[in-house]
Amino acid sequence: MPQSLRALCLVLLAAPLLLGGEGRSRAAKTHARRKPGGPVVIMRIGRVKIYRQQSRIYFKSGLQIDVDGAPTAYHPNDEEALDTVKNAMKNPRANRPRWVGVVTDTGRPSGTPLLQGPDDPAPGYYISKTAYEVPGFADTDPRHYLDATRINYVVVPMKLAARFKTLNLLGSRARITNLETGAVCEGLVGDLGPNHKIGEASLAFARALQCGACSARFGIDRRIFLYEVFPGEPAKGFGLEEAPPEDASSVATP
């Protein structure tokens, strides 16, 4: 074989080895970044990355306040309630709004919202509900839902609950850490929200985390809270519940 052809063959034979070495180097770097059992990004909502690591999912976010389930959450007169009634509707500007945060006479968003009676905790207020339902009470009984002023619960987007459908995210143990104060509190996944929102918890949770003057109308936007959820691990004193279908319009608050 001529020397020129022999040299060309050697170059062609060496090229895959060189490329292979570079490919292995890149693979090694990727493997180094993704250690076995290390965190993996499973979802992004806005600027927030949601990670999964072994038996937990976690993310850092601000803290917006959810008052759903509280007897005084919503009232025909906003000044009497913890939150504006618009947040109990899916399309508040429509002639016939769809009610997603309160109980209606038909059990559907298109129904007429029911008011609490004289024997209920807050007569004249709407019956506010959460996705998590306390067994042993009727759908029209305020005790059938988690009281946001008393129970530490977090709100997760419906698509996140759908991703862990087989593990029943509702009722799973949850924990929030205030990274500024070091306060750590335990609770449960108790409500579902829209897919574009992340970083929301009950008023009771916010108070336990020493959030000062937090209210349903004034949360904290700074991402100083670490949220941790343990899918399929029941929170103490609560059972696991199956989340409704991801397209259920009667659950997610605006």
Position 197 pLDDT exceeds 90: yes
243 assigned to some structural domain: no
Same domain, 91 and 196: yes
Residues 26 and 57 reside in one and the same domain: no
Same domain? 122 vs 220: yes
Kindly state the average pLDDT of the residues 203-226.
85
Considering the domain architecture, whether residues 87 and 59 belong to the same structural domain is answered as yes
Do 2 and 62 lie in one domain? The reply is no
Q: How many domains does the chain have?
A: 2
* Residue in 218, 236, 55, 243 with CA at minimum distance from that of residue 155: 243
Tell whether the torsion through CA atoms of 135, 138, 143 and 147 is positive or negative.
positive
Does 82 fall in a domain?
Answer: yes
Q: Which percentage of the chain shows pLDDT scores above 70? A: 80
Is residue 242 one of the residues assigned to a domain? no
Q: What is the mean pLDDT of residues 167-184?
A: 94
User: Does the predicted TM-score (pTM) go above 0.85?
Assistant: no
Q: Say if 251 falls within a structural domain.
A: no
d(CA 176, CA 183): 8
Q: Confirm whether 217 is domain-assigned.
A: yes
Instruction: With CA atoms as reference, report the closest residue to 101 among 134, 132, 136, 74.
Output: 74
DSSP H or E segment with residue 105:
none
Same domain, 93 and 209: yes
Per-residue pLDDT tens over the stretch 47-93: 999 999 999 999 999 999 999 999 999 999 999 999 999 999 988 77
Instruction: Determine, yes or no, domain membership for 120.
Output: yes
Q: List the domain range (segments joined by +) for residue 19.
A: 1-33
3-class SS of residue 184: strand
Claim to verify: residue 80 and residue 180 sit in the same structural domain:
yes
* Residues 127, 16 share a domain: no
DSSP 167: G
Task: Report yes or no on 247 lying in a domain.
Answer: no
Confidence of residue 94 (pLDDT cuts 50, 70, 90): confident
